[in-house]
Structure 1
Amino acid sequence: MMKVVIVVILALATTLVFSFSLHDMTCLFVNGKFCKDLVTVTANDFFFSRLNIPGNTAANKLGSSVSLVNVNKFPGLNTLGISLARIDFAPYGLNPPHTHPHSSELLVVIEGTLLVGFVTSNPNKLFTKVLNKGDVFVFPIGLIHFQFNIGETNALAFSGLSSQNPGLITLANVVFGSNPPINPDVLIKAFQLDKSVVDYLQKQI
């Protein structure tokens, strides 16, 4: 009798887990996204293409391009807590210091050589490494990190992120490019810079 009960409980638990995994998409609102009615879900909701196409690294002064595949582009990611990014680098291209407030990031280098790193606070300690093809590096959630192509050829990396919508805060943009701008006196004191430097940075960004 006990064996029968255990088998029934295990069967119910398996059914519930499978049921929840299928029906998560029918929820009303999760992580800022409405879920689709299970009746209208198709295989295309779990499919994305075009990550074979290189990003345009000439479109900005940094020489990098990030192609993010998150829940906004890939409905099947909703409630799964994952997303993906392709990062292209021109020679000496930079993915500048930034942070993902909702996600850790696992980066794998496909081509080229990247200098990568992240910084902790209290103490402000830099963890950095030079990565070559096939190398993997992890950036813990919320920490400021960067990737820099130190080679003379293009570089390519893919990142797995532990959120369907990892978020992005690029330090230079938010500090020197806010709208309206942060009072220059705040930035002068915070960064110990001359006003002319702050003015220059705000105009650039």
Structure 2
Amino acid sequence: MCGRFSADVSAEVLLQTFNLSGLPVINPRYNVAPTQQVAVVREGADGGNRLDLLHWGLIPAWAKERTIAYKMINARSETLLEKPSFRQAYKYRRCVVPASGFYEWRHEGKAKLPHYIRIRDGLPMLFAGLWESWKSPEGEVVESFTILTTAANKLLESIHERMPVILHPAECGRWLDRSVTNTSGLATLFQPYPADLLEMWQVSPLVNTVKHHSYELIAPVAI
């Protein structure tokens, strides 16, 4: 799964990667957690890409309470068409979640040791996601998203069986295109990201606490 990540992608890179209409105003974040507002890219009604803040943890349109979001931070890419929570969003409401890396935990006895994973050449990680719009009984409209997962690659499988679906920049246009409602061809994007293009190291357990959010969280620790 993907339960924490960092988002330190420059505004210039986002502008160039997604051909945004203007330079976004963003701040680096090193401990992005579920239920927080997170910057995601999606295609607008005019066909152009836009960067919006959405709630991490998808709330289906039919949900009675927003607390369901805690169970919806990730969605298995293999079963999207089988799940009522994700089926319509997969067809009509796809998004990309820009990140600079993500965290995963290795279990050693009772200890959980956090590790940081990023792309070797410093390119942004582009997570495939789905978004939804939900209206509460009180009339509040909440836009939310989930991050898709796939089988872990050779690098990650030693600590977890799943990893986020990471898109290559050239694949984002196809994923975001709202005119593509026949999803049969999109499943080819759900392959594990090549292990040789990623790197991983152990980091401080401070990342376990959401209140910690400094750059030091992604620094390697002595083993």
User: Do both proteins adopt the same fold according to a TM-score greater than 0.5, normalized to the shorter chain?
Assistant: no
The normalised TM-score by structure 2 is 0.22
**Larger RCO, structures 1/2 (Cα 8 Å, 6+ apart):** 2
Q: Higher Cα Rg: structure 1 or 2?
A: 1
Pick the structure with more helix per residue. Answer: 1
Pick the structure with more strand per residue. Answer: 2
